[in-house]
Amino acid sequence: MENREKNSYSIHEVAKKYNLNTWTIRFWANHINLLKPRQNQKGDILFAPEDVHKIGLISHLTNVEGVALQDVGRYIF
């Protein structure tokens, strides 16, 4: 069987992957126009693989590199 990447990830999966709080990811999703989460019929927040990658970059830039959240967009295209 082929190892395929999932097409969406829950906020809990993303939080666990990057050792972040779900409320941090929700804040970023609401305040950074780079992320485009969607909600399923149950209201769960889901992220596409591209958004998961961007969340990892945002986490690195803000927590390791010391980039201010409002400047993150300059580093992510």
The answer on pLDDT for 3 being more than 50 is: no
Report the interhelical angle of 11-18 vs 22-31 (nearest 10°): 110
Q: What is the pLDDT of residues 13-64, one digit of tens each?
A: 999 999 999 999 999 999 888 999 999 999 999 999 999 999 999 999 999 9
CATH architecture for the domain at 9-74 = Orthogonal Bundle (1.10)
- So where are the chain's domains? 9-74
**Contact predicate 45/37, CB 8 Å:** yes
The 10 Å Cβ neighbour count of residue 39 is 9
The answer on pLDDT for 10 being more than 60 is: yes
Distance of alpha carbon 64 from the chain centroid: 16
The answer on pLDDT for 1 being more than 50 is: no
